[in-house]
Amino acid sequence: MSSNQLDKKSEAWSALFSEPMSELVQRYTASVFFDQRLWRADIAGSLAHAEMLAAQGLISADDHAAIRRGMAQITEDIEAGRFDWKLALEDVHLNIEARLTQLVGDAGKRLHTGRSRNDQVATDVRLWLRDEIDAIGTLLAALQTALVDLAEQQAETILPGFTHLQVAQPVSFGHHLLAYVEMFSRDAERFADARKRVNRLPLGAAALAGTSYPLDRERVAKTLGMDGVCQNSLDAVSDRDFAIEFTSAATLTMVHISRFSEELILWMSQNFGFIDIADRFCTGSSIMPQKKNPDVPELARGKTGRVVGHLMGLVTLMKGQPLAYNKDNQEDKEPLFDTVDTLKDTLRIFAEMVGGITVKPEAMERAALKGYATATDLADYLVKKGLPFRDAHEVVAHAVKQAIADGRDLAELPLATLQGFHPSIGEDVFEVLSLRGSLNARALTGGTAPAQVRAQVARHRARLAG
């Protein structure tokens, strides 16, 4: 087949067909305008394949040199924006192959020896996704570092801790921020683990059954820095578990971002007033001049639904497919690409935004004083005096009821009033009832005491530096 024939609408794959593909079908089935982002991976895979073909004596050294020369020219053209992507050639693979054949002649045609677009595209997506996972790992580390920095600054800041969005117990704001660091660290672990299953080579599976050519698949895997080869040719070309697994990990990360976003939105509202977000991450209102809207957290909360949708789409895409490759699998790329783009952009902007948060500790502490946040501390105090916890709980409930009736905090009740609920209560109770005393008392591993927050900050810094 000549290079001109490769450009024909109906002859890019075979001379079997007697009529050209309709333009409507051509547009409907083509993927080149979104899968062209795989071009670096496609060229890398082709160069590794060509090197192996030459080593196995399946193509000549001259052909191998010509392929390398042609791919270098194509790389230069794509980087310079000179490459002519053609809808008629369907996808990134045929576009690059056709151009290579134009540049180097028959050597370009020999490149496809022993492979199919089925194993080629599976390889390209894996190579591309592997690099994206590495980039996401770096972005996750940057976001964690920004949170750790803020947590260290706010280790002593008292925040009302909530359950059911009701004031529950006082916590360090730094401790609260480190909860998200834990979430994002698990996300990083999930991506790193998923990478192991992404980084396996399908190339050599050909269309579905393997090939009769004496390929050295392990050599190609080593050249590409992959951890091994896919062991079943049918599974190699049709598997998209790795894409679903990646998107699942991305969904969890976006869920964590969304939870953090919800808190940022609440904390910034006038009803809370705990923080301010830098102006560059917010917008105003077209009608209400006093408004400062937390657009970035709100949009991230919305984009989480978008990524969740991509996960559902990929799962649904695969659920009814028989072995082996089916054209359905072309629909894996746009949701995967958009998931990567959405996640990377979100992580990048959140790392910057966290660094621009202004904390209002006085507002946080005032809020912590409103909800009888040290009630549990009084119960623990009575337990240490010998009461069973359930009895202590009942005593404190009566004390809180009295405080509510008096419009006072527990710490503002006179000692005589407190002793009326139980005679074992002494002067030392007021240290227990203070917010700072409550905070400092929780100094066990994982607790909210400032000393523990600093210990956790040090642990995270060491982990992120490693």
Alpha helices in 203-240 (DSSP H): 217-223, 233-238
* pLDDT tens by residue, 145-195: 999 999 999 999 999 999 999 999 999 999 999 999 999 999 999 999 999
List the structure tokens of 392: 């202590």
* pLDDT value, residue 384: 94
Ranges in the chain, pLDDT < 50: 1-10
3-113, CATH topology level: Fumarase C; Chain B, domain 1 (1.10.275)
367-465, CATH topology level: Ribonucleotide Reductase Protein R1; domain 1 (1.10.40)
* pLDDT value, residue 9: 41
Tell me the C-alpha to C-alpha distance, in Å, between residue 427 and each of 86, 108, 411, 413, 441: 84, 89, 11, 12, 17
Cα distance between residue 377 and residue 125, in whole Å: 55
Can you give the residue ranges of every domain in the chain? 3-113, 118-152+173-361, 367-465
Catalytic residues: 164, 285
* pLDDT value, residue 14: 63
Q: Domain 118-152+173-361 belongs to what architecture?
A: Up-down Bundle (1.20)
* pLDDT value, residue 8: 46
* pLDDT tens by residue, 219-270: 999 999 999 999 999 999 999 999 999 999 999 999 999 999 999 999 999 9
* pLDDT value, residue 23: 87
Helix, strand or coil, per DSSP, at residue 168? strand
Cα distance between residue 123 and residue 43, in whole Å: 11
Sequential DSSP letters for 354-381: HTTEEE-HHHHHHHHTTTTTTHHHHHHH
**Residues 31, 124: contact at Cβ < 8 Å?**
no
